[in-house]
């Protein structure tokens, strides 16, 4: 029997984001979703052991006060306090709320034509009039193209290219677009040599920086993200949050993320290991004959003619990477940086291919 569709017209028109494969059986080398290959800080394990499970009957702190204080302390900028922090259920939720708060029904919002695949989905949901700006021949964002918009959304470093803008280039985009919010998605900034746009927040009331605990803090499984901005922007995010879900971040996630961000030594150690492994992997791939874009993230975008064939060969050997059958990306594979041992296994498989 044919079933009736009860979807709204808007839901029927959506083109959903397609996440990376998450295999359920063991034995895979998983280099397709940009997760951190190292466990969270040992301080997270200590916190989990001391959780009072009886408190799970209560709603969590809707403002995530402890975590906001921890984030502000981690950033270490005098003019950025807890009131300048917004916490959400993963940076994806923070970004989705930002689309509704600052771009809904607006026209001429600029985003790169190759960037995080969720941006067009959120734009559809919030009825945002997007104007895409093409990356240049080297897959770089050209700041001169971003002018006189009603807002700008960009990932820095960009995904899936891994290429980063300098802080001066980001500030140029801010100065060229005074009438809209400039959202800088810094999911991968901790693996970059470039300065974070958080330093621009005290200077501009239209800069919103969004970050995540999923990458450099190894907490993808908890879903914790945050935004940094002046109070006017934070209040805008809170307005949407309290119209959607007043308790987005659970109690356990709040205390674990607070512990994680407090352990700066562990954070520095693991991110440096990833950076070193990234550079080793890029050099090894170049020796084999496959060049990578200059990444400042925990992944590489590797140029491979007829990339789908290598993707399928790796898949047959239980190694997952990411492939997109999209313009300008069909000859590339995105490879997450795993442990040194995982990357050596990956390189050996590429050599066999």
- Are 85 and 159 contacting, i.e. CB atoms less than 8 angstroms apart? no
Task: Report pLDDT digits (tens) over 22-48.
Answer: 887 888 999 999 999 999 999 999 999
Helix axes 251-262, 42-49, angle to 10 degrees: 140
Mean pLDDT of the chain: 94
Structure tokens at 284: 């090894």
Task: Report pLDDT digits (tens) over 82-95.
Answer: 999 999 999 999 99
Structure tokens at 264: 């700066």
Distance CA 153, CA 253 (A): 27
Task: Report pLDDT digits (tens) over 178-194.
Answer: 999 999 999 999 999 99
Distance CA 90, CA 185 (A): 12
pLDDT over 70, % of the chain = 100
pLDDT of 287 over the 90 cut: yes
pLDDT of 20 over the 80 cut: no
Strands (E), the chain: 29-30, 85-88, 109-112, 130-133, 152-155, 182-185, 207-212, 225-228, 299-303, 319-320, 332-336
Task: Report pLDDT digits (tens) over 144-188.
Answer: 999 999 999 999 999 999 999 999 999 999 999 999 999 999 999
pLDDT of residue 1: 65
Helices and strands (DSSP H and E) totals, the chain:
11, 11
Site of tokens 């979703």: 33
- Are 148 and 176 contacting, i.e. CB atoms less than 8 angstroms apart? yes
Q: Checking DSSP bridges between strand 29-30 and strand 207-212, what pairing results, if any?
A: unpaired
pLDDT of residue 212: 97
pLDDT of 256 over the 80 cut: yes
pLDDT of 54 over the 80 cut: yes
- Are 48 and 252 contacting, i.e. CB atoms less than 8 angstroms apart? yes
Give the mean pLDDT of 299-319: 97
Helix axes 251-262, 264-288, angle to 10 degrees: 80
Distance CA 106, CA 90 (A): 25
pLDDT of residue 4: 78
**pLDDT category of residue 249 using cuts at 50, 70 and 90:** very high
């Amino acid at each position: 029997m044919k079933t009736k569709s009860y979807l709204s017209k808007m839901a029927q028109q959506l083109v959903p984001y397609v996440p990376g494969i998450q295999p359920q059986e063991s034995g895979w080398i998983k280099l397709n979703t940009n997760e951190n290959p190292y466990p969270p800080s040992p301080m997270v394990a200590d916190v989990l052991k001391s959780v009072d499970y009886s408190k799970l009957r209560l709603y969590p702190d809707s403002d995530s006060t402890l975590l906001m204080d921890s984030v502000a302390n981690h950033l270490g900028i005098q003019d950025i306090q807890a009131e300048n922090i917004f916490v959400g259920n993963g940076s994806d939720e923070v970004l989705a709320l930002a689309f509704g708060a600052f771009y809904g029904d607006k026209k001429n919002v600029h985003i790169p034509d190759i960037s995080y695949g969720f941006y067009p989905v959120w734009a559809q949901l919030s009825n945002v009039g997007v104007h895409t700006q093409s990356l240049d021949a080297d897959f770089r964002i050209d700041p001169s193209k971003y002018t006189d918009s009603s807002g700008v959304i960009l990932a820095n470093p960009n995904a899936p290219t891994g290429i980063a803008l300098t802080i001066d280039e980001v500030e140029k985009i801010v100065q060229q677009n005074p009438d809209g919010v400039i959202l800088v998605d810094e999911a991968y900034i901790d693996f970059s040599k470039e300065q974070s746009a958080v330093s621009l927040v005290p200077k501009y009331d239209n800069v919103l920086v969004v970050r995540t605990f999923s990458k450099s803090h190894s907490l993808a499984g908890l879903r914790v993200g945050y935004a940094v901005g002046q109070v006017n922007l934070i209040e805008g995010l809170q307005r949407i949050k309290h119209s959607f879900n007043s308790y987005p971040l659970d109690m356990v996630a709040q205390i674990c993320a607070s512990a994680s961000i407090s352990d700066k030594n562990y954070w520095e150690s693991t991110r440096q290991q990833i950076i070193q492994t990234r550079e080793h992997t890029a050099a090894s791939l170049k020796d084999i004959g496959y060049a990578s874009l200059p990444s400042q993230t925990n992944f590489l975008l590797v140029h491979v003619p007829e990339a789908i064939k290598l993707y399928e060969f790796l898949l047959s050997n239980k190694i997952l990477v990411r492939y997109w059958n999209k313009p300008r990306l069909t000859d590339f594979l995105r490879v997450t940086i795993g442990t040194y041992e995982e990357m050596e296994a990956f390189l050996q498989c590429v050599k066999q291919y």
